[in-house]
Chains A and B, each alone.
Chain A
Amino acid sequence: MLFSSQQIDTTAGLKAEFKNKPDGQFRPDIFRVSGYEKGAADPALSTTVRRALAIRSLFTEPGAYIYKNDLIAGSIRPMFVVPDDAQNAAAAKYAAEFPERWFANNSDHYAPDYRTAVETGIPGLLQKINESKQTHQNEPQKVDFLDSMAITLEALIEKFRQYAAKTDELLRGLRNGDPAAEGYDKGRLEFIKANCEALTRGAPQTFAQGLQLVWMLHHCFVCEGRYAMALGRIDQYLYPLFRADLNRGQTTDTEAEALLANAFAKICETRFRGGDDVVNICIGGVDTDGALAVNELSYCTLRAVRDVNMPGPNLSARIAPGTPDAFLDECLKVIGTGLGYPALMNDAVNMAALRRYGYAEEDVRNYCMVGCIENFMQGQQPPWSDGRFDPINYLEKLFLEPDDDIADMAEFMKRYEKQLEKAVEDYVNATRAAAFVPDPENQTMPFMSCFCQDCIDRGLDINMGGAKYPSVHGAALMGVGTVSDSLAAIEKLVFEEKAVTLSEFAAALKDNYEHYPELRAKALAAPKYGNNDPFVDKYAVWYTQYISDLFRNYRTNDGGGYYTAMAANISNIYAGAGLGATPDGRLAGRPLSDAASPTYGCDTRGVTSTLLSVSKPDYSNCACGTVVNQKFTPSAFVDGKREKLLKLIRVYFERGGQEIQINSTSRETLKDAMEHPENYPSLVVRVSGFSALYVTLAREVQEDILSRTQHEEL
């Protein structure tokens, strides 16, 4: 052990330090100014070099900040400033002259190639850049771009020096009784100093140095103003260093967990500038040879995220058919704390989906996620972009000019498919236009390009052909439940029972069912997705296949795939807000069904039926990923009960479910459900011989459950 238990148990201490928020604004643009000014002094410099100079000032001017509880250093605190008018004006001028890319044209939501970074180290990458300059010596534009990459890496080395110098300053302060050093720990400071210094000289030699490197790189991306930068498969790319430490007897699982927690906790620093980041961390799955990849570090990562217990580190667990039950059980234990992580990903389905896009098999096996659930080839393709596609809107169009001559459901579906065909084409054109950058050589990303295969070798920017694979775009299909339920209601009421004509239905929808309570009752009583009823489930199968097929006809600007997703965050609420009443009985303005889940409250037969329905579509169509949310009360996560959840998940995955996000309802949720029962129609309480919908329970009984929940919290 390098530390005493008191020295490594830092999470609570860090959280306490976070309570003291920095003053001012998080302003990367302010720190770029001096770099741009230096560049402006030399008119011969290219834009990419001038951008690199701005990155250099961005990385090196704010200075170092080390928390008293830091084991792994790198803080955005010095990035907060209170600029004066002149500084603001200068920043605005350069921001206009050097516009940054944004989400729609591939700027963030990226998983950098941390594996190569850890194996090679920063000096090693600089060496590679030099070699590439030799190779491309007759291609001045490439040499210039490689120079700009080198400037940013040298700035990073300078940053490590600054952090080492900061530890020196604090150590001196400790010796001299300087009040500024009060509360700092000598052992931790020396540890940080040694790690930062080592990283200026070469590749990391220990797990702690590897993690320090990765964290500092992540920190630099955050300094650049990027959001949703993923850490990717940290249990894989840091494992060789961890294993070597273990073999030398230089570390333990507890220590690795503490170091990881110390780094992950700082993800939550983004709260200083409002809101949580979404930093995806991926564990488990298979390795590049296809062998099961869960290792000790997977467990350490899982527990570290639990220890941090804050949103920000967004943990995903890849579950392969052979992934040990012990690992899945450990995931359920963490979920049972109420954290909601990790999201459980079906490896078999995700890999089948990615194989459709021609990636090398070893790269497919090495996928991770960015953002919430978006599948990504770590460090091998430009940053992610996506958008919202609302198939329900094009169903609505069929009711604007209803045609009562439509003879049967098959013909109705043909009309709908035609609408969708055009809609997908429009969507693709719009997103391609948004992603198009007319002068990409003026919008390079030299720092990020250092961490993407094969930008260094090719001497090209990540967005200009440097990346091994082209950019992909994810179309998030909204409302599979709403669409399926609506089509089922149309088939049942219009074509099967002939209870209503299309034009009558159209009139009722336009009227928001106000004068059509009977029709609405019938619409609500029609079969609903999520009850294992083939009558309606077939429409979800069709939806997934048909729309994904349409998107597969298209390519992004640089030739990558158009993936589909069924994931919503809360976009289903926005998508529903602007939409009129729908044939499933939904009233105007109400949310659409969420992600790949059935319409909330409509899956009434229990979770097995829900999952039987939801596993019918072929999700190998959805290379981006899908989300199915399920809530359970904390009693489902206790010893002796978790195995039932485990079996449920295994069967769901065997049947081809792609993802499941399980939540243990917290006390806060249960309290909220008492006040807002309308938002919790499906929350079930289970005990022996009994189960009930939570919202139907008498108030004092809900109180009983609340007090039980307190006791059961793990």
Chain B
Amino acid sequence: MAAEASKRGPDGGANDLLNVSCVQHFSTGDGPGIRTTVFLKGCNLHCPWCHNPENISPLPQTLVYPQADKRVSYGRRRSVDDVAAEVLEDLEFYGLNDGTPAAQRGGLTLSGGEPLLQSAVAAVLVRTLEARGVPAVIDTAGCVRWQYFEPFLGHVQAFYFDYKTGDEQRCRELLGGDLSLIRDNLTRLLAAGEPVRVRIPLIPGVNTDIAAIEQICAQLTAAGAGSVDLLPFHRLGSGKYAALGIDYAYKNTPPPGADVIDAARKKYEQYFDCRVE
């Protein structure tokens, strides 16, 4: 493990440490079963609706909530062993030995930020846990070089692959990302037979109109995707923006109504196995 862990981390940080934002136990929305979600700090996109703004910068940050008399610090360099030990505390909850089928077991979810920016060290974590039978889900926006995926191939329970827009210009301007890179990565993952769930945040004004949905459907079909999860926008993160002292562009945007969600679901269902989270 030591040899592998000494590979240089792509975030340019300390090469055998993970830049961990926080660890969330008993996550119920981040994969099958009971998950322990490790949020890694730092992202190469800047989606204006992001609900985890504290995970965009790789630097440590403290959020101050005066109304709740609370300060929460995010961002700590932690060794793989340290993080693995914390994930393994929940070992019994993952259902590894109770007859639960492999695809439905709980385990680690790597989220962020963009966890693949710390690909090399994160892969050591995933393999360390894999050796103990703990499966991993990688929650990625997919806008990284293909090499960052490689160490995980054949070693994860699922890639939760975000697909936010099918519009290249919008992707560049709103997210700061290269859609063709995202699309190529998705295509390659699916071609390699990796387990992938495409996740689409339903963002009002961005990707909820039928034309935008049709565009995404066409690209996902071309990439070979079979299933999508729809994640309706919520503004739960707006308290975090306030605590960071940043203005949140979406603070006045209410979540999409049931009619909008329903229309989107019906459209996606024409092409994919679709579920709304």
Contact = CB atoms under 8 A, between A and B. Distances in A.
A655 interface: yes
B65 A696 contact: yes
Contacts of A89: none
Contact of A693 (B52, B70, B237): B70
A609 B236 contact: no
A609 B34 CA distance: 13
Contact of A697 (B72, B93, B236): B236
B251 A687 contact: no
Interface in B130-158: 139
Given A532-B89, A644-B33, A690-B51, A696 B24 contact: no
Nearest to B277: A688
Interface in B40-63: 51-52, 63
Given A647-B33, A693-B68, A704-B234, A607 B92 contact: no
A698 B89 contact: no
A608 B199 CA distance: 27
A597 to B, nearest CB: 16
Given A644-B28, A651-B93, A689-B111, A697 B239 contact: yes
B138 to A, nearest CB: 12
B242 A636 contact: no
A655 B254 CA distance: 43
Given A655-B92, A693-B68, A701 B238 contact: yes
Nearest to B232: A687
Nearest to B238: A698
A530 to B, nearest CB: 12
A204 B136 CA distance: 59
A464 to B, nearest CB: 49
A440 to B, nearest CB: 51
B95 A647 contact: yes
A648 B34 CA distance: 8
B237 to A, nearest CB: 7
B14 interface: no
A703 to B, nearest CB: 9
A647 B243 contact: no
Contacts, number: 119
Interface in B162-196: none
Nearest to B242: A698
A651 B97 CA distance: 12
A701 B29 contact: no
B26 interface: yes
A688 B258 CA distance: 18
Given A651-B93, A655-B92, A691-B24, A696 B239 contact: yes
Contacts of B26: 606-608, 644, 648
A612 interface: yes
Nearest to B52: A690
A652 B251 CA distance: 39
B259 interface: no
B30 interface: yes
B107 interface: no
B67 A700 contact: no
A606 B89 CA distance: 12
B106 interface: yes
Contacts of A697: 236, 238-239
Nearest to A607: B26
A7 B203 CA distance: 50
Contacts of A532: 89
A693 B71 CA distance: 12
Most chain A beta carbons < 10 A, residue from B72, B90, B229: B90
Contacts of A647: 33-34, 93, 95, 106
Nearest to B252: A700
B109 to A, nearest CB: 8
B235 A607 contact: no
B24 A678 contact: no
Scoring B51, B68, B231 by chain A CB atoms within 10 A of each residue's CB, the highest score goes to B68
B21 to A, nearest CB: 12
Interface string B86-110: 0001101101000000000010000
A641 interface: yes
Contact of A687 (B89, B111, B254, B277): B277
Interface string A635-660: 01000010010011001001100000
A442 to B, nearest CB: 57
A682 to B, nearest CB: 11
Contacts of B95: 647
Given A644-B26, A695-B65, 20 more contacts: A607-B25, A636-B28, A681-B68, A685-B236, A686-B27, A687-B231, A690-B29, A690-B237, A691-B24, A691-B29, A693-B68, A693-B70, A696-B70, A696-B72, A696-B240, A698-B242, A701-B235, A701-B238, A704-B234, A704-B255
8 contacts: A607-B25, A608-B34, A654-B92, A686-B28, A686-B29, A688-B199, A690-B236, A696-B63
